[in-house]
Amino acid sequence: MSAQRRAVGGLTTGANYTWSHCISDNTSLGNNIGGLAFTYLDPNDREFDRGNCESDRRHSFNLTGVVETPSFSRPALRAIASGWRIAGIYRNTSGSYMTILGGQDRALSGVGNQRAEQVLGDPYLDRDGLNFLNPAAFAQPAPGSLGNMRRNNIEGPGNWQIDTAISRLFPIGASRLEFRAEAFNLTNRLIRLNPNTNLSQNVFGQITAAGDPRIMQFAVKYVF
């Protein structure tokens, strides 16, 4: 769904929302890493490896706005404040889906990417913090067996971000000079990435990586 309001008083706004669901089979088939083959966990039940895509984002919302400053009547104010264009975008997306790995060959099959056993209904410890998953919600499968978890069935942290830009064209005879400044992640908020999903590691369930902090860049372009 999308909506747009064209320039009214120098302001243009737009918004769009997307609901989507991507389902795929195991995308690691045919790889061989560390001596373990990446194939179907259960050759007799290939649907056991069907799950959400790595790129699946169930909800995505974007809000954009562009405003231009008016042409002022006073010469000094017109030279300083007229002609500026300010643009911004607010993006909010739900999290990607994760596979909880046991990190061991519990099935004794030599197949990689074996999954853990989920023993509690709620897998989360603190969805708003850095201790995202609850280690007590998972366990290693019994020797000779596979875990009960599907591939990519745990949703990671969602995120929102604000990006902005300001620009202006300065006419110089038949040429023009363009100034532009941009800021990504304007609020410099912590953008949490997915937590560690290997149950055999001591940082399992913890978010130890983040997206980019605030990044600013400036540019000047002369067109002739």
Q: What is the pLDDT of residues 78-119, one digit of tens each?
A: 778 888 999 999 999 999 999 999 999 999 988 888 999 999
Tell me, yes or no, whether 138 lies in a domain.
yes
Query: Phi and psi at residue 183, in whole multiples of 5°?
Result: -135, 125
Q: Tens digit of pLDDT for each residue in 12-59? A: 999 999 999 999 887 665 555 544 556 788 888 888 999 999 889 999
Which residue in the block uniquely carries the two structure tokens 């061991």?
Answer: 104
pLDDT at 28: 64
**Number of neighbouring beta carbons within 10 Å of residue 72:** 14
Tell me, yes or no, whether 86 lies in a domain.
no
Tell me, yes or no, whether 159 lies in a domain.
yes
State how many domains the chain has: 1
pLDDT at 73: 80
pLDDT at 128: 94
Tell me, yes or no, whether 201 lies in a domain.
yes
Tell me, yes or no, whether 169 lies in a domain.
yes
Tell me, yes or no, whether 14 lies in a domain.
no
Q: Are 177 and 79 in contact (CB under 8 A)?
A: no
Q: Measure the CA–CA gap between 215 and 48, rounded to whole angstroms.
A: 42
Tell me, yes or no, whether 52 lies in a domain.
yes
Element (H, E) at 75: helix 75-81
Tell me, yes or no, whether 136 lies in a domain.
yes
pLDDT at 192: 97
Query: Whole domain around residue 38: which residue ranges?
Result: 21-56+95-223
Q: Tens digit of pLDDT for each residue in 144-202? A: 999 999 999 999 999 999 999 999 988 888 888 999 999 999 999 999 999 999 999 99
